Structure 1
Amino acid sequence: APTVGYRINTDENWDYHETSLKVAEIFDKRDEMKDALDRMDAKEAVFAENVKAKFGDQKLMYLRVTGNDIRYYAYGHFGYLYDTYKFNRAQTFNPEDMYQVIDIDKLKDLNPDLLIVQADSQELLDNKLKNTPVWSNLKAVQNNNVIYADYSTYMLGFGIVSQEAIMNQISDEWGLK
């Protein structure tokens, strides 16, 4: 079958709207995609209102635990958590850097109210986070405000389907309307 390749330029643009419209145009479905994007924008706006109403000034961290380090994602692809969904960043840093490598002491100092954690394995999650003395003292852990993120949805997802799945998980686990 014929194949069309399209490279997503994530160095400059993490907006799935533009990519979705370009792909839809290839299949002559631009109007349908525009409608779907408009519906998603409306859902995201309501979701953001619910986030602000429930969590106010509380701080969120998206952590990824890898074999090499612990990363706090706050920009790039993960900027939607803060810019679209209106969660507050636990800390700001250079927006040109998608993530910041942190250690367990830095995590202790930041002590976020809310955590979304994605680990490359259960063993890494346990050894680098859960089995440390810091973990049980974090506000997010004490208040049961930790979500464990699925790699394929959060790290590979880049569009309407993944955004909806992420909003659904956050809503279900943190009791948003």
Structure 2
Amino acid sequence: MTNSKGILKIYEDTFRVNIYTTKHFRMIGLIDVDIEYFYSVEKVTLAFYSSSGTNNGKIKGLWYPIVGIKTIDGEFTEFTPYLNFVLSNTTIDGFANKGWLAKSLFFASRRPYYYKTLGFSNGRYYESLFYIGQTLKDLIERNKFYSMTSLKPKTLNEILTSEEIYIGNKCTQKENFERFIQDIFEEH
């Protein structure tokens, strides 16, 4: 079952970032968007990262979506049961090292359109996620973001799976985020 029709709006003024690593320069960030679900339009926080490198076809400065960040070595146990299931089934051997950016879901196993940029899924969310990635790149270049020094992996994961119900929403951040991830996983 499809949970949503897609991303309707990006709240550019909510973009908050932190430097994640400096050895291989990477930044992590959060942005709020409106997603149209079958039950209402809900504000949802999504996570992205950017890398200075261009390995694996990455575009320098472009922001790519992530499910979260691995906080312990081994199998996926630190996220919600559903997110652990998704990551276990989209990651080689079902485990990863601490600090790994959980992005495998967005590298679709079926790739019908070879002109698409890798790392944004291939389903109904591809265009929206790619557009957000480009928008975040532009916001960084224009210095239009909040620096969030407390945005560490555990904090980022807690925000994405929060039980908070944002003003005007019917469901929690966790429920909305998991439904978003489910839609992408089912098209994976």
Provide the TM-score with structure 2 as the length reference. 0.27
Q: Which has the higher helix share?
A: 1
Higher relative contact order, structure no. (Cα contacts within 8 Å, ≥ 6 residues apart): 2
Q: From the CA coordinates, give the structure whose radius of gyration is larger.
A: 1
Going by fraction, where is strand more abundant, 1 or 2?
2
